[in-house]
Structure 1
Amino acid sequence: MMSGLLAVTQRLQPANEHGEVRLALDVRWWSFLAACGFDGVPMPLDPGAAAKLLWRTGCRGLVLTGGNDLGAAPERDALERYLLRRALERGLPVIGVCRGMQLVLDAFGARLRRVRGHVAVEHRVTGPRGGRTVNSYHDWAVLQAPPEFAVTARCGPVVEAVRHRSLPLAGIMWHPERADPVHDEDVDLFSEVFGGRNAGGDPGRGTRIPDGRGDRRPAEVPRRTGGPHAA
């Protein structure tokens, strides 16, 4: 049986008064992933160690979480670009959340812009499947997605969710882990992309290809080193 584990990246915190640099992850991620039928494996900051942990634990997908503007934490940028590239090379499903979606779209050549009125608010998004209200905690966004992606939600001109047209790759600009109770639409997205619970409620069946190999040609992800608004 395939693993019910997902690799989850973490926020990078600045050095404290003791010189310690720490990674952090909202504890609500674990209850949200459990609602989707998964458990999370936190990724270390070192790209080689993270890749080794991802493959050895048999993770069926990668979640690029929020926090840290692109360019503000270069070590995290490098880690997540590396993991994204390796995941797509192996056909491993990926979902980017907030900053994670920004990183995905930036890697495919999108231009990020500063936007107003999207921090610590709730707003309505609309898309092909209708509208809904979501939380928002970002001040950078994309107004036009790369051609490889279908836009699945917008708030006015701002792209709020995307799905790659041929790969198991998606992004959302809201934080599903912060919703209480969790939204069924977010659970459905994670279950669909990562091949989660089936109609009987069992985890571990779905779109992930054994050993990370798919029948599609790997995506070409540029080796970009910094965000468009890096300091």
Structure 2
Amino acid sequence: MTVAVTALGTLLASLSACGTDMSGSARAGGALGPRGPAVRSPAVSALPEIDPARLPGIGDRLHRQIPADSGQVLAVYGEDRDSADSTAVLYTKEGPEWRPVARWAAHNGRNGWTEDHHSGDNRSPIGVFGLSDAGGVLDDPGSMLPYDQNRYAYAPTVDDAAYDHVFDYVIAIDYNRLPGTPPHDPTRPEGDDKGGGIWLHLDHGDGTSACVSLPEEAMEFLLRTLDPTRHPVTVMGDRAELSA
């Protein structure tokens, strides 16, 4: 009799350790309640699922503006509406899923972001824009985009040593411009007041007039990676607007 009781006690202890009650039902997380298993802990059941078919931090409004045939997106996440600090992440589409490829610290307009950009406001425009043409002072580093090398057209106009190399490499952001022309083409389809000449270019350590600036290695990487057959675009803005 002593042996049987001891064996039963050992069995009950074993079942308890495995999270199983006397009826054979597995515990679903959390302790047993006085009248049966407790409900699953909200900390477990409420964990959000990441949809790999969606770009992180990009809400429905802007996500719908990404062309269906686009396979490359440079997302520029501004830290705040009035901040010049941002983070750029390159994503590529593999099947239905967006995968991050590279990430860099970046700068945007020195006054932040706007949905109604005008010339001279020192804010970068929020939206989805094509990335179709490139160029710069330096020779083509192996760009897949059409590349316009012209040391005079891309010479800095600011008399400051910090700006000496900002246009060594540029990629035109298709805001108020004609895609298929060199980045320095002055044509403004929506008029001069709407601004233009907004590029990706080399960083100089601070905010820009409206462009997005990146480290040199980032510009070289993008020039060698952005593929016109994949219809690359940038989705850019402050985090709050991007997620709306």
Q: Which has the larger radius of gyration?
A: 2
Per the TM superposition, whether the score is higher than 0.5 is no
Identify, as 1 or 2, the structure richer in helix.
1
User: With structure 1 as the length reference, what TM-score do the two structures score?
Assistant: 0.26
